[in-house]
Amino acid sequence: MENIKLIVGLGNPSRKYKKTRHNIGFRILEEFREQNKFPKFKIEKKFQAEISEGVINNTKVLLVKPQTFMNNSGLAVKLILNFYKIQPTQLTVVHDELDLPIGETKLSTDRGSAGHNGVKSIMQEIGTQNFTRLRIGIKPKKEGDVQGDTAIKNMVLSKFSKNEEKIINQIVKDACQKLSD
């Protein structure tokens, strides 16, 4: 289908992860859905994802929150791409980026995963890195480099501080605008 756009927000299912840094992709999709008056997300078991769909500027937009946990996000993405016959170039993935400080976002296309396991999973499953990524900075401003698997896991699964939350609220709005462009 030519006139379709797939926007995938990365995160982990379950309430305990809801406000964590790693779930910023889910959070942005929720806000985007509300701003654009799309229906509530519904579980689609055959895709292993929650999906909401609507139309923006004559383009069908599928919003997807994989329910496979972060490291297996590619499973849901591959199922949806194949079912709807969507090309990877019509895919935008919204995810947390530990290499970017809070308050920064970057759009990139046809780039490596930079070690992000959710992005790695997508690349492995769909066989290409030629898709767009909206990378959302989650690195605390006062932190140095976060090194080691345990430190990284603790960081991405932590919640934002009150001060960080103010920045994130603005970033969520900015990210939604970028997704609408």
Residue 150 makes CB contacts below 8 A (sequence gap 6+) with none
Angle between helices 73-84 and 117-126 (to 10 degrees): 40
Predicted pLDDT at 146? 61
pLDDT digit string, tens, across residues 112-169: 998 899 999 999 999 999 999 999 999 887 755 566 677 777 788 899 999 999 999 9
Four-residue CA torsion sign, 111, 116, 122, 127:
positive
Active site residues: 22
Taking the CB of residue 118, how many other CB atoms lie within 10 A of it? 26
Predicted pLDDT at 155? 82
pLDDT digit string, tens, across residues 40-60: 999 999 999 999 999 999 999
Measured at the CA of 147, the angle between CA 76 and CA 162, to 5 degrees, comes to 75
Exposed e or buried b per residue across 91-117, where buried means at least 16 C-beta atoms within 10 angstroms of its C-beta: bbbbbbbbebebeebeeeeeeebeebb
Is the pTM above the cut of 0.85?
A: yes
DSSP state of 88: G
How crowded is the C-beta side of 171, counted as CA atoms within 13 Å? Answer: 26
CATH 3.30.300.30 fits 4-180, yes or no: no
End-to-end CA distance of the chain: 20
How crowded is the C-beta side of 141, counted as CA atoms within 13 Å? Answer: 9
pLDDT digit string, tens, across residues 56-91: 999 999 999 999 999 999 999 999 999 999 999 999
Give the residue extent of every domain in the chain: 4-180
